[in-house]
Structure 1
Amino acid sequence: MKIEKLMLGLVAAAALAACSSTKLDEKPPVETAQPVTQQQTPPQTPATPERQVTTVDLGAQLDAAVANQRTVYFDFDSYVVKDEYRNLIETHAKRLNNKKSLTLSLEGHTDERGGREYNLALGQKRAEAVAKSLTLLGVASSQVEPVSFGKERPADNGHTEEAWAKNRRVELRDK
């Protein structure tokens, strides 16, 4: 126990001795240095010339893409949209989704065979099938209006299978 008190006393004395050597009244020396000036370097020119970014008008591209693609043809007595017209419908859907103010009239037509009422109903089903395809691709139903003309507006007035095939159609027309 005596040794512990002795050690404690020595530690306290050493601590006091260290404190007494610090002079609080003296100010520490301040070194004065000259300000460093930075040299101005000229801006570096890029090794490769800058490329200009061209603007792309998606609306104009889509308009051009559908300019000659506005008709979907159907088989005899059918209103099923064929797979071969998928790209045409997708392009029109992109166009309508890109410009929400654009609307289309989907005009359904039939060939001359069949009665007036039957052909009006079939033309309407064809127009509605195209409208359904467009709405499944995100087009608002308010942007498409299916309408039927039946056999009243033939594309070809002939009475052959070739002429009738041209008349079984839906035309996509801007309103």
Structure 2
Amino acid sequence: MRNALRRDYGSLGWLVPRALARCPPPAQIYYDQVAQIDLVGWSHGRVVLVGDACHAVSLLAGQGASPAMGGAYVPADQRFRASRIEDALHAYERLWRPVIENRQCVDRRAARWFVPESSRQVRARRAALRLAGLPGVQRLVAALAGRRQPALGQFAVLPAWGSAKPGTGPVRSSASVRRS
């Protein structure tokens, strides 16, 4: 392991060679990898994968909570709308997969900034970080990044099962509960 680390990262320069020289013995090194698995489908019959089981985003992106909430909301909403579970599960994947695939694609690109593969990428990251301190650059980057995102507004609409008038459906507001 120690030799593999030196071989793969020794050319990065800066502090990396000194850090690798102080690398502990192999028995004391913990090594893990960040990986994503692309599934052909998220459901089979009445069985479905949800959350990180089917659409984990990179832990480098810090985007775990948003997909988790949407990944719970969308199948529940589709189950309410569909007469058959299988139809609901297919609709869930049809609606939610493009959102997740976009997020995963953005995250894969961002991972290169967190873990550069070459000294050239290290220099590019340093230059980008210096530029980020200039006035207006952060707004420009946010605007450019925002254009790549699919419209999530379609998922923000209050579902039919949550819009029932107080006292008429399964969802009741606290104002409609009368206490004697």
TM-score bucket (shorter structure):
under 0.3
Give the alignment's TM-score, normalised by structure 2.
0.21
Bigger-Rg structure (1/2): 1
Instruction: Specify which structure has the bigger relative contact order, considering alpha-carbon pairs within 8 angstroms and separated by 6 or more residues.
Output: 1
Structure that is richer in helix per residue: 2
Q: What TM-score does the superposition give when structure 1 sets the normalisation length?
A: 0.22
